[in-house]
A = this chain, B = another copy of it.
Amino acid sequence: MQTYILLTCEPGHEKEIITHLKSLDSVIEVNGIWGKYDIFLKVHHDAESGLDKIIETLRRVENITSTYTIPILYGQGGSIDD
């Protein structure tokens, strides 16, 4: 399963957080973004319990101030079906 997560962080800490997130096994894609949120993240996990652990981990990362989790609705014919 894959899940999208939008993060906000303390201003100025984007690059160090992105570098850290790239080192995590569960992270497929991470990018700094414009607008209401600061960082886009796509993660891979085996089941919902796996997602719990990822979010718990993210919320402990220094200077990450919020996480907005967007689960994928499988079965709607999207372009990821793993």
Describe A's contact surface by its main secondary structure.
mixed
Contact A30 B78 (CB under 8 A): yes
Contact A34 B79 (CB under 8 A): no
Contact B70 A40 (CB under 8 A): yes
Looking at chain A, what size class is its interface with the partner chain? 20 to 34
A59 lies within 8 A of chain B by Cβ:
no
Contact B31 A73 (CB under 8 A): yes
- Which of B28, B29, B33, B77 is in CB contact (< 8 Å) with A18? B77
CB-CB under 8 A from A32, the residues of chain B are 72-73, 75-78
CB-CB under 8 A from A22, the residues of chain B are 77, 79
A80 to chain B, nearest CB (A): 6
